[in-house]
Structure 1
Amino acid sequence: MHQTSRAAPSTVGHSILDAADRWPERTAFILAGRSVTYAEFARQTETAARGLLALGIKPGEHVGVLMPNCWDYAVLVGAINMVGAAAVVLNARYRGEDLRFVIAHADITVLFTAGIGRPHLDLRALLCAEFPELARWHDGEPLAIAAAPKLRAVFHFQAPEEETWATERVFAAGAATVSADILAGRIAAVRPEETALVIFSSGTTAQPKACLISHRTLNDVAGAVAERLGLVQDDVFWDPLPFYHMSSHLPLNACRKVGAAYLCQTHFDAGEALREMEAWGATICYPAFPTLTAAMIDHPDFAHRDLSRLRLMLNIGAPELLRKFAAALPRATQIACFGLTEGGGISVMSSPEETLEQRVTRVGRPLAVHAVRIVDPDTLAEVPAGTRGEILIRGSIFSGYYKEAEQTDKALGADGWLRTGDAGWLDPDGLLVYAGRIKDMLKIGGENVAAVEIESFLVKHPKVKMTQVVAVADDRLVEVAAAFVELKSGETMTADELIAYCAGRIASYKIPRYVRFVTEWPMSATKIQKFKLLESFTPTGKIDVASVLRRQPEASK
């Protein structure tokens, strides 16, 4: 049996050992057809933790992980937290300047990467391109990188035989030199308020900011999520999201609270997702982002898979889109949520007991460890219930931005309320209505229009799978809507057809003046990056809406 007293309560190390003591033989983690019990996951994590101690990792040190979702990734993050270091979970989509910036800014001392994604994703080559010194470096030699002076070693797991960097064999050899007693002392010394994760929030126009997430915040929010969803031992929690995102770490830690199984993917594939959910008997489906859910429902295998064990699914998106998802999986209760990395990942979540209408038009109530206020974004004065304003959060949230005191002060007021930059209001039942980003607004001919309002309407079209609306400059109206549209498989549509669909159904000034059909979206970790849609936009093919409407007399009445 593990001695759970070796770690303080509310630390990640404690949760891993505690789960191993309570449910040693229950399935803990499933990835790519491989499963492991809670006892075995703890054993693997402790072995990796000894490997970190052999490297001389100190408490509070920043250790980077740059990998696609893989087994080593999950074990390493737990091990880094066990020894009181901070796991810098890096977005495997980072390229060029972004990759160089995050590694240097986070003060990473040891970096772990993997060859699992080759040849499509060659992380070694990407790192060498940004840090040329790495191309000449051999394990055992001093590492000196001008752009990242604190980086002293890089490990390349699942690498080819000719690898010159440190490998998992070197890591395992070091682990064998550290005793269990030394490890136990380090685990017990970790405090809940120390940083467990460093996660870069996806920026829009500026460089990403490094959010510091403490052990206490991670564990408290995970526990509150488990409580809100009513997680039990028999649940199998399917989550395809990347390990560099709170949407993976929260469910993984929530499962540890109750002994449930966590089922994840190396990368999202709709057909494989459906197969795995059927094979493992998933009870909770957590795609979260509508691009993933829509891809599964639109997949030809969807109608033939047995997903009858699903009792909950969590998605965020426009109400009409959520209604489509609920109709496609009628046995699974549709859950929504609201959150951001700075707010601990999730701050507000629906309850299964709420009505369908509430669950698709609202995002729920604050979790037990959070409080929410709605304020005027200019004066920060609290507004009456039912009045739109900026959403503020207090409670189990991030500790601040690493090395950015000024940005931290802007986000966190003296009273500890986090400014989210998101708009919404509280209804008479205390449920939060999310109304999009405050800046995700269009000013069309003097009228304020939320992009999500137009998106919610366009997605009702039976041929439309997904849509995103951005504001573009216009000589007459100052701004107009440009709609980027992804169609369902096998469907075709013209821009005029979409505009005709709008006739008489929404105010004419809300009708898009530009339509762009797309087959893929520019993504950060899991969010569509609207600023990249704007970057790619050229003001050609402007639609004469009045002319289209004149050709649709019946629809425009």
Structure 2
Amino acid sequence: MSLLSEAPVSAVPESSSWALAPDLPETLPALIRQAATKFAEQAAIVDGAVTISYADLLVRSQAVARSLIALGVQAGDRVAVWAPNLHEWILAACGTHAAGAVLVPLNTRMKGGEAADILERSGTKVLFCIGDFLGQHYPALLAGQRPVTLKHIVVLRDGFKADPDQPGDMGWRYFMGQGCLLAPSQVLAREQMLSADSTADLMFTSGTTGRPKGVMSAHGPTIRAFSTWSRVVGLQPGDRYLIVNPFFHSFGYKAGWVAAFIQGATVYPEQVFDADKVLARIAHDRISFMPGPPTLFLTMLAHPRLKDFDIATLRVAVTGAASVPPVLITRMREELGITNVTTAYGLTECGGCATLCDPGDSAETVAGTCGRALPGTEVRCVDEEGRPVPTGQPGEVLLRGYHVMQGYFDDEAATAEAIDADGWLHTGDVGVLDERGYLRITDRLKDMFIVGGFNCYPAEIERQLADHPAIAQVAVVGVPDERMGEVGCACVVRRAGSELTPEALVAWSRANMANYKVPRHVLWFDSFPVNASNKVLKRELAQLAVARLVKAKV
């Protein structure tokens, strides 16, 4: 089998955007220092009325690092951020890295119990947390379940009131003054302790065990992978990059502001996707670069007043999912006027990106495949015995390369299950490689489904739903949805005598789990189809669910 992805890095022409950049820094703090020199007076971040130049980005990041050190954060300690896309999120992250600590991004959709579990298992010492957001006061969500290891909460923006029972907690402004007496040389010493192989972040991703696992990734691979990504997709110095993808996800963090800082682009954070606001921002701020899931662009295209907004400056878009309709790529190019539209594939365990289409590829290629592997990455599709399948035949997607994770935090067994003895990462996705080495994802081995760009893992949702006193048995499957692509359907066997209604279960779910995990449909069953080992036949169950939902519409 001939694979473009197996070509050595040296085989890529130096003139190609796929070639490795010659002057890449080894660590993220070194990247900020390099950017502050190369793009000093250029805007790095524009967040409402706040504009931060690249030179000021370095100054503010160093101040965050000094304050973290003053609070007792040691090299290798974990520091979490639980907030929407804000300039403070980026400053907190950059300062965490400069202090030699490990960044732990938290999903803003999580409920208090979900966040507390990750904070406790990661041993997080300091949490940067938004105050009021989406009708919630985030510090209050941890009330009664705050881990003992969490020494400080730094509350961003306004709305923070000191808690006499938590004297270590403080607002952002007060925090920024904590390290003012600390010598800058202490931060520099921490930075010099770092190498390309030092752990930069610990990103928790859900899995088939039903409990999120912490993916450890290093500084160097992130910079190398997204240096290539940014140049291939056409991110340029001076581009105005609207980041709607959440910073707690690789798409908003690594393919987001890290990629922007590599290339000298300007980051425009957007907290929540709203079609009206996004179209208005593109027009007002003359945005030129904006990745996002297919749902985002479908919503823009469906906007009744799309032609009222001048979005002619939008030049580049990157999207991706298991299935992207070719007509979407064509419409993005023709109706939204986006010159460069491309797709990519990756997962947290490989740093967020493994394969990538070239903007010059046809609409059919961009929509029908996830592109070819980044230089230095190998891709295989294998059968159940681990043997490579012929070109054009489906098999489990395996990845091997410099950006594969260091492992799962405190979980050697799960690491050994995910990465085999030869260094191949078993993704759990089913794909097909064509004769050009382009990958097409066709299925998911582990029943995962995607809701509006968020990965949903049935086992995790089932574990949470099983806590409901009226549920005897539950299985969650993904079903098609016109707007979201897929949504969750909870198939439930109720306890005898239960009067639980679908509306009540949905309401309970909204109170106990992130919104994207909440089932959009609830179906009652007397029993589930099972195999000889009494394991639920999820595919057969999903077919039954879809048939019942279709019948209910008629």
1:125 corresponds in structure 2 to 140
CA contact (8 A) 2:312 2:337 kept: no
Partner of 2:21: none
Is the aligned partner of 1:216 residue 2:220? yes
1:341 pairs with 2:359: no
Cα deviation, residue 126, structure 1: 0.4
1:391 equivalent among 397, 422, 428: 397
1:33: Cα distance to partner? 4.9
Offset of residue 484 of structure 1: 4.3
Residues 32 and 337 (structure 1 numbering): CA distance in 2 closer, same or farther, change over 3 Å? same
Tell me by how many angstroms 1:205 deviates: 5.6
**Distance in 1 (alpha carbons) for counterparts of 2:192 and 2:138:** 35
Matched, 1:154 2:159: no
Amino acid paired to 2:264 = G
TM superposition shift of 1:175: 1.5
> Is residue 2:283 matched to residue 1:278?
yes
- 1:175 equivalenced with 2:179 (yes/no): yes
Cα deviation digits, residues 435-490 of structure 1 (max 9, x gap)? 1312449xxxxxxxxx99xx9xxxxxxxxxxxx9x9xxxxxxxx9x98443459xx
Distance 1:290 1:319 in 2: 7
Q: What is the correspondence of 1:420-459 to structure 2 with a 5 Å cutoff?
A: 420-440=427-447
Gaps of 5+ in 2: 1-23, 164-168, 459-474, 485-505, 526-543
Tell me, yes or no, if structure 1 residue 90 matches structure 2 residue 106: yes
Identity of aligned residues (%): 26
Contact 1:296-1:302 within 8 A present in 2 as well: yes
How does the TM-score come out when normalised to structure 2?
0.76
Equivalent residue in structure 1 for 2:267, among 262, 265, 273 = 262
Q: How many residues align?
A: 463
Letter of the 2:434 counterpart = D
Give the corresponding residue for 1:233: 237
Q: Which runs of 4+ in 1 moved over 6 A?
A: 524-527, 544-548
Aligned residue identity for 2:273: F
C-alpha separation in 1, matches of 2:141 and 2:514: 21
What is the alpha-carbon distance in structure 2 between the residues aligned to residue 525 and residue 297 of structure 1?
A: 30
Q: Cα deviations across residues 416-441 of structure 1 (Å, max 9, x unaligned)?
A: 11111011111111111111312449
Once residues 51 and 403 of structure 1 are traced to their aligned partners in structure 2, the CA distance between those partners, rounded to angstroms, is 28
Matched position secondary structure for 1:284: coil
Partner of 1:356: 363
CA contact (8 A) 2:287 2:314 kept: yes
Partner of 2:493: none
Q: Hey, what does 2:523 align to over in structure 1? A: 537
Q: What 5-or-longer segments of structure 1 have no aligned partner?
A: 1-7, 132-147, 442-450, 456-467, 471-478, 489-517, 552-557
Partner of 2:385: 379
Instruction: State the structure with more CA Rg.
Output: 1
Q: Which residue of 1 aligns with 2:124?
A: 108
TM-score of the two chains, using structure 1 as the length reference: 0.75
Native 8 Å contact 1:237 1:262 kept in 2 = yes
Q: Which amino acid aligns with 2:411?
A: E
Shift of 1:76: 0.4
How far did residue 525 of structure 1 move?
12
Structure 2 counterpart of 1:411? 418
Change (3 A) 1:41 1:116: farther
Aligned to 1:462: none
State the SS of the aligned residue for 1:225.
helix
Q: Is 1:31–1:266's contact at 8 Å kept on the other side of the alignment?
A: no
CA deviation map 1:64-121 (0-9, x unaligned): 1112222211100000001110011111111143222111111111222121426x12
* Paired position in structure 2 for 1:555: none
> Using the alignment, how far apart are the partners of 1:542 and 1:152 within structure 2?
48
Task: Give the drift of 1:412.
Answer: 0.5
2:324 matched to 1:319? yes
The question of whether the paired residues in 2 share the 8 Å contact of 1:99 and 1:130 is answered with no
The residue number in structure 2 matching 1:511 is none
Matched, 1:202 2:206: yes
The alpha carbon displacement at 1:535 in A equals: 7.5
Does residue 302 (structure 1) correspond to residue 298 (structure 2)? The answer is: no
Contact 1:68–1:116 under 8 Å retained in 2? no
Specify whether residues 160 and 390 from structure 1 end up closer, same or farther in structure 2 by C-alpha distance, changes over 3 A only: same
Look up the match of 1:464: none
* Deviation at residue 221 of structure 1 after TM alignment: 1.4
Contact kept? 1:91, 1:525, Cα under 8 Å: no
Measured in 1, the distance between the counterparts of 2:305 and 2:116 equals 41
| SS of corresponding position for 2:349 | helix
Question: How far 1:239 sits from its partner (Å)?
Answer: 1.9
One-letter code of the match for 1:386? G
What are the Cα deviations for residues 177-215 of structure 1, in whole angstroms up to 9, with x where unaligned?
Answer: 111222222222222211111111134561111111111
- Relative distance call for 1:173 and 1:367 in structure 2 (3 A) is same
Amino acid at match of 1:405: E
Structure 1 residues 369 and 322: alpha-carbon distance in aligned structure 2, compared to 1, 3 A threshold: farther
- 1:176 and 1:303 map into 2 onto residues whose CA distance is 50
Q: Does 1:11 align with 2:27?
A: yes
Paired with 2:242 and 2:174, the residues of 1 have a C-alpha distance of: 33
Q: Which amino acid aligns with 2:151?
A: R
Q: Is this contact kept in 1: 2:129–2:155, CA < 8 A?
A: yes
Instruction: Check whether the contact 1:65–1:89 (CA below 8 A) recurs between aligned residues.
Output: yes
- Alpha-carbon distance in 2 for matches of 1:547, 1:434: 30
CA distance in 2, matches of 1:17, 1:89: 23
CA distance in 2, matches of 1:541, 1:94: 27
**Shift in alpha-carbon separation, 1:414–1:299, aligned structure 2, 3 A:** same
Q: Deviations over 1:31-58 (max 9, x none)?
A: 2353321111111111111111111211
Q: CA deviation at 1:347?
A: 0.8
Contact 2:114 2:513 in 1 (8 A): no
Q: Which residue of 2 aligns with 1:38?
A: 54
Question: Is the 8 Å Cα contact of residues 422 and 437 (structure 1) preserved in structure 2?
Answer: yes
